Structure formats: C-alpha cells, structure tokens
Amino acid sequence: MSQNVAVIGLGSMGYGMALSALREGNRVWGQDISPKRKAEFVVEGGETTPLPDSLDVVMVVVLNSAQTEEVLFGEDGIAAKLRKGAVVLGCATVAPEFAKDMEARCNAMGILYLDAPISGGAGKAALGQLSVMASGSQDAFDAARPILASVSETVFELGDHAGPGSAMKAVNQLLAGVHIAAMAEALTFGMTQGVQPNQFVDVISKCAGSSWMLENRAPHIVDGDYSPRSQVAIWPKDLGIVLDIAKTTGFDAPITQSALAQFKAAADMGLSGEDDAAVAKTYARQAGLTLPGE
C-alpha cells in the first residue's frame, strides 16, 4: 500500500528510514536543515517540495524533545497541516512524560501519535531492519503498521499509550552507553597489563564479559577507525535524558553518571564528532597509552 510519508530529519537514521520507505513504493518527502542532504534525497527519488496536505504518516527523526516539539507545534509546525487520522511517529529519544504530552496534543487535533523510538544504527535503518520500541493506541498502531513494516524488522508493542516506548528506549540507552564506556575502560585497563586490543576482542567477545556494544564497537578501536557510525555526541545527550528522567523519581543511577562523565570528558577533548568508541581515548590519555592507529 503506497502512502504519503514525510521524514523530518535526514540524519543517518532518518535518511536510511526515508530510503527504506521509498524502496517499498511510498511517496516520501524529506525535510532537513541541510540543503545537501535534501539534494541527495531527491537524487534517490525522494521529494522535498513543501509538504502536501495529504500526508498519511510523519516520522519525526530529530535529535531531542525540543526539536520534536518545534517540528510538530512550533511556528510553521506540521501538526496543524495534517489531515485527521494521519499518524505521527515520534522517533527521537525523549522522556516518557514528553511522549505522553505529544500524544495528548496530537490527539486534541485529531491526529494519531505513536511513541516510536528506534534502535539499530544507520546500517539497519538503511536496510529497513530497525527495532522500534513502540507504544500507542490501537488506532495509532493500525495507521503506522505499513510504514513500520517498511522501516523495521522488529516492533516491540509495549503499551496502549505513549510513554512505555520511550521508557524502554531510555533503559536501552542507559545500558548501551554504560557498556561502551565500560568496554573502553576494560580494553585500556587490559593494555596496562599487556593485553593487546585485538586479543581483548578475540577472547572477551566469547566470554561472560561480553556485550552487544563490545562486539560492535571494540573492533573500531582495534582498527583505529573512529569514522562515526554513532557519535560520541549522542551519549552526553542520551545519558543526560536518562538522568533527567531518573531525577523526576529520585532514582540514583551512579553507574550511568560515571559513564556520562567519560563521554563528557571525550567531548571536552574535542571528540564529539568521532565514533563513540573514541571514549577509549580519554582512558588512554589518562593512562599514557597509545591506541592502535594513533
């Protein structure tokens, strides 16, 4: 079923989702602050002219809640232009309360809202194989199902209202961020004891100390390749969101705080635009170690 789809934010995730939506035969409009990204998207068969009145689906794939709110309800916001029954997918990592607020404000305008944060990285986005941690009304799920089928491999259906999707995403980001920083801590600690990074990957990825992030990111350090698949900059933002949510209930998250401090240190070293495995450089500098490729 061909639909009229808008993708707001053609970053590495949004661009891949837009391509996946195109590939399935939808008409897809892409919006981004970068003219270059939009021009590339047109070459791929996408559209960027003013959004039509006839949109069925809007996927908001921006950085955070402030951008999500601006896109939907700011000056020139999209929500006011959508037809009744259109569905908005909120894909940014945001607080559950914010997702609930977006749902309420959309519903008040006759628009459906699916709390739909995404996981899997740029590669999976381009292949239409993301995981979506989704929650929302039955109507929102029904309206979103075709586009979810285009962009994702797995849809976790986590509840009948906005909030639980974003809560699960925050839980996942807590662990993902901690595991990247812990991997960096362990890899560099090993180096102080003569364990080479390639040996670290070979052995630990087969042992009880392994994690999804270790298997995915530690090879970047072995290769000395910090071209960003996922940037350091993601983690001060996402772990900050986790801690903001935790603060609302007085929950202490000391390990998250400790990992956040490492990513902030990496950002302070000017590494925000590098692959997030570059958090290892903060440890290497402290310990006087030379990482592969340096």
Instruction: Return the residue of 3, 4, 65, 173 that touches a second copy, per CB under 8 A.
Output: 173
- CA distance linking residue 112 with residue 138, whole number of Å: 10
Contact 72, 99 (CB under 8 A): no
What are the phi and psi torsion angles at 139 (to 5°)?
A: -60, -40
Q: Does 199 bind a second copy (CB under 8 A)?
A: yes
Instruction: Return the residue of 212, 224, 244, 270 that touches a second copy, per CB under 8 A.
Output: 212
Annotated catalytic, 169? yes
229 burial type by CB count under 10 A (0-12 exposed, 13-18 middle, 19+ buried): middle
Q: Does 250 bind a second copy (CB under 8 A)?
A: yes
Instruction: Return the residue of 189, 223, 240, 269 that touches a second copy, per CB under 8 A.
Output: 189
Q: Which two tokens stand for residue 241?
A: 């969101």
Q: Does 108 bind a second copy (CB under 8 A)?
A: no
Closest CA to 259 of 190, 187, 175, 191: 175
- CA distance linking residue 266 with residue 279, whole number of Å: 5
Nearer to a second copy, 24 or 115 (CB): 115
Strands 118-119, 112-115: pairing is: unpaired
Q: Does 292 bind a second copy (CB under 8 A)?
A: no
Q: Does 164 bind a second copy (CB under 8 A)?
A: yes
Q: Does 210 bind a second copy (CB under 8 A)?
A: yes
Q: Does 240 bind a second copy (CB under 8 A)?
A: no
Nearest approach, Cβ of residue 292 and a second copy (Å): 17
Binding segment for a second copy among 54-62, 67-75, 138-146, 238-246 (CB under 8 A)? 238-246
Instruction: Return the residue of 68, 93, 119, 152 that touches a second copy, per CB under 8 A.
Output: 119
Catalytic position from the list 169, 206, 237, 247: 169
Q: Does 206 bind a second copy (CB under 8 A)?
A: yes
Q: Which two tokens stand for residue 21?
A: 């939506």
Q: How far is CA 169 from CA 69, 96, 119, 197, 242, in A?
A: 18, 9, 8, 30, 9
Instruction: Return the residue of 44, 142, 252, 268 that touches a second copy, per CB under 8 A.
Output: 252
Scan residues 23-82 and list those touching a second copy (CB under 8 A): none
- CA distance linking residue 259 with residue 101, whole number of Å: 29
Q: How far is CA 174 from CA 4, 39, 99, 234, in A?
A: 35, 35, 18, 12
Active-site positions read: 169
Q: Which residues bind a second copy (CB under 8 A)?
A: 96, 119-121, 131, 133, 154, 156, 158-159, 163-164, 167-168, 170-176, 178-179, 181-183, 185-190, 192-195, 199-200, 202-204, 206-214, 216, 242, 245-246, 249-259, 261-262, 283, 286-287
